């Protein structure tokens, strides 16, 4: 009897070891300056994105995702899991000041970012992941934010040598993954190529696909860049499949901010603006066998949801104070009714006071979207900002052509209170 019990106990112990599956690998793909509709799976008839179309069809896809309107604040949200007024990174550069640091001095921005309690690559590295940075990484080096390896080894503006990924080769990622495999370690890859971001210099054979079809020269190059980026994603996915890694690798996708294909830098309501073409993006999570493919065209998703999602996937617990929601938890996602966007000037007036650079606060609640201006105009490009309170019904007016604030004063008041509470407590 005792021997039988011992055998049974030992069998249970062995089974528990066998059932404790290793944590999955994670790849975060971040597009750069891409319009929310510029994908086949989002309905575009102008541009080809067959690889992202396939990946989206295999994923939990949210078509109504929201990010910040410019690069550095968006990337800081992805590193910290917090909105800009909390993580402190409210713009791309420091504004000129007689008494403050020079704009060329990146150290205050580095210090501000590193002061955050959670830095995604750091906590993953500490949990046993091998972590690798490629592409855009504003102001900091990969080591400073806790990556165990990376391409951006010197502090710069966009990301230095990291920007070679995608445009020149995908090999650094493959070499890193091979190293992780040899050590039998789970890996995390930050794939943030500066694509389709300018310079729009696509391969000639891709550009030819879009010429002579009635697009502007700027749009021809941009669409070719989108397809080039899609090809790089397909190459990465093919590598995972060929190396039998796809089943145990979670892929997450979003873009950092938007773009207007037709007007490019002359667009007044895309990049740097709080309007839909500047801040909306599809977001998806693919985990074969774990996340059922589904397309959700109603639930709101936010850039701050990526950190808690990745931490959940990897089994890392950093406490319960992150404001985002696990993108894989469909019930929790549906229960949250509002997401928030913060629009700032390109240059940061005061690192200690986000309000000094604030252009507009935005709340999206259901299909309502409220924009609350601060009175501070944007400071780069052609981007526009609201001059008065603006309210849009995105269900019937997805590109915000009619301000209905005067027609719905009760909604303006209700949404204003929601936004005010979020600004104070998040």
pLDDT, one tens digit per residue, over 31-88 is 999 999 999 999 999 999 999 999 999 999 999 999 999 999 999 999 999 999 999 9
For position 22, what pLDDT does the model report?
84
Confirm whether pTM is higher than 0.85: yes
Nearest to 139 by CA among 162, 158, 153, 119: 158
DSSP state of 23: P
How many angstroms from the chain centroid is the CA of residue 150?
19
Residue 131 has pLDDT above 50, yes or no: yes
> pLDDT for 286-331, tens place per residue?
999 999 999 999 999 999 999 999 999 999 998 878 999 999 999 9
Q: Which position has the token pair 């055998």? A: 7
CA angle 240, 245, 247 (to 5 degrees): 110
For residues 151 and 142, the answer to whether their CB atoms sit within 8 Å is yes
Phi, psi of 385 (to 5 degrees): -135, 155
Distance between CA 178 and CA 172 in Å, rounded?
10
Give the model's confidence band at 20: pLDDT under 50 very low, under 70 low, under 90 confident, else very high: low
**Between the ranges 106-115, 345-354, 376-385, 397-406, where is the mean pLDDT highest?**
397-406
> pLDDT for 136-160, tens place per residue?
998 999 999 999 999 999 877 889 9
- The arithmetic mean of pLDDT across residues 261-288, rounded, is 95
Phi-psi region of 137 (alpha: psi -120 to 50; beta: other; left: phi over 0): beta
For position 103, what pLDDT does the model report?
67
Residue 426 has pLDDT above 80, yes or no: no
Distance between CA 192 and CA 93 in Å, rounded?
19
- Three-state DSSP at 62 gives strand
Distance between CA 95 and CA 344 in Å, rounded?
12
Rounded to a whole number, what is the distance in angstroms from the first to the last CA of the chain? 59
For position 12, what pLDDT does the model report?
39
> pLDDT for 180-192, tens place per residue?
999 999 999 999 9
For position 18, what pLDDT does the model report?
38
Task: Give me the chain's average pLDDT, please.
Answer: 92
**The pair of three-digit structure tokens given for residue 276, joined into one six-digit string:** 């839909």
For residues 271 and 257, the answer to whether their CB atoms sit within 8 Å is yes
For position 6, what pLDDT does the model report?
43
Cis-peptide into 120, omega within 30 deg: no
Phi, psi of 313 (to 5 degrees): -60, -45
For position 99, what pLDDT does the model report?
63
Report the share of the chain in percent with pLDDT over 90: 84
H or E element in which residue 114 lies: helix 107-114
Q: SS3 helix, strand, coil % of the chain, rounded to 5?
A: 35, 20, 45
For residues 89 and 74, the answer to whether their CB atoms sit within 8 Å is no
For residues 228 and 220, the answer to whether their CB atoms sit within 8 Å is no
Neighbours of 401 (CB within 10 A): 8
Nearest to 237 by CA among 79, 61, 58, 63: 58
Residue 1 has pLDDT above 70, yes or no: no
Residue 216 has pLDDT above 60, yes or no: yes
Cis-peptide into 9, omega within 30 deg: no
Cis-peptide into 70, omega within 30 deg: no
For position 390, what pLDDT does the model report?
98
Domain 21-335, CATH number (from 3.10.620.30, 3.40.720.10, 3.40.640.10, 3.20.20.140): 3.40.720.10
DSSP state of 330: H
CA angle 13, 18, 20 (to 5 degrees): 95
- The arithmetic mean of pLDDT across residues 121-138, rounded, is 97
**The pair of three-digit structure tokens given for residue 221, joined into one six-digit string:** 């190059």
- The arithmetic mean of pLDDT across residues 230-244, rounded, is 98
For position 232, what pLDDT does the model report?
98
Distance between CA 189 and CA 173 in Å, rounded?
8
For residues 112 and 170, the answer to whether their CB atoms sit within 8 Å is no
Distance between CA 73 and CA 247 in Å, rounded?
32
Phi, psi of 365 (to 5 degrees): -130, 110
């Amino acid at each position: 009897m005792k021997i039988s019990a011992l055998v049974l106990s030992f069998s249970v112990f062995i089974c528990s070891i066998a059932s404790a599956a290793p944590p999955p690998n994670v790849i975060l793909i971040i597009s750069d300056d891409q319009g929310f509709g510029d994908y086949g799976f989002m309905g575009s008839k102008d541009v080809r994105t067959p690889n992202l179309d396939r990946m989206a069809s295999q994923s939990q896809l949210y078509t109504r995702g929201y990010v910040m309107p410019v690069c550095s604040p968006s990337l800081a949200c992805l590193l910290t899991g917090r909105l800009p007024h909390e993580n402190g990174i409210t713009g791309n550069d420091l504004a000129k000041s007689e008494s403050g640091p020079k704009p060329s001095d990146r150290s205050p921005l580095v210090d501000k970012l590193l002061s955050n309690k959670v830095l995604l690559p750091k906590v993953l590295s500490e949990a046993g992941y091998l972590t690798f940075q490629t592409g855009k990484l504003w102001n900091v080096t990969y080591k400073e934010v806790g990556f165990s390896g990376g391409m951006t080894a010197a502090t710069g503006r966009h990301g230095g040598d990291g920007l070679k990924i995608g445009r020149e080769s995908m090999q650094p990622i493959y070499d890193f993954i091979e190293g992780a495999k040899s050590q039998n370690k789970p890996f995390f890859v930050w794939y943030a190529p500066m694509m389709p971001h300018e310079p729009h210099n696509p391969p000639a054979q891709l550009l030819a696909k879009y010429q002579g079809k009635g697009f502007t020269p700027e749009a021809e190059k941009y669409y070719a860049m989108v397809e080039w980026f899609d090809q790089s994603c397909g190459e990465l996915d093919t590598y995972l499949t060929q190396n039998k890694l796809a089943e145990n690798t979670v892929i997450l996708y979003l873009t950092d901010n938007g773009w207007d294909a037709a007007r490019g830098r002359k667009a007044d309501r895309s990049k740097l603006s709080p309007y839909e073409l500047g801040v909306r993006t599809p977001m998806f999570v693919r985990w074969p066998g774990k996340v059922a493919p589904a397309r959700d065209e109603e639930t709101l998703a936010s850039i701050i949801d990526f950190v808690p999602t990745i931490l959940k996937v990897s089994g890392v617990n950093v406490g319960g104070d992150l404001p985002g929601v696990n993108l894989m938890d469909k019930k929790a996602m549906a229960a949250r009714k509002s997401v928030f966007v913060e629009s700032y000037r390109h240059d940061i007036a005061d690192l200690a006071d986000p309000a000094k650079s604030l252009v507009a606060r935005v709340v999206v609640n259901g299909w309502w979207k409220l924009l609350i201006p601060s009175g501070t105009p944007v400071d780069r490009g052609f981007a526009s900002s609201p001059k008065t309170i603006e309210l849009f019904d995105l269900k019937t007016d997805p590109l915000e052509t009619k301000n209905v604030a005067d027609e719905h004063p009760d909604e303006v008041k209700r949404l204003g209170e929601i936004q005010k509470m979020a600004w104070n407590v998040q």
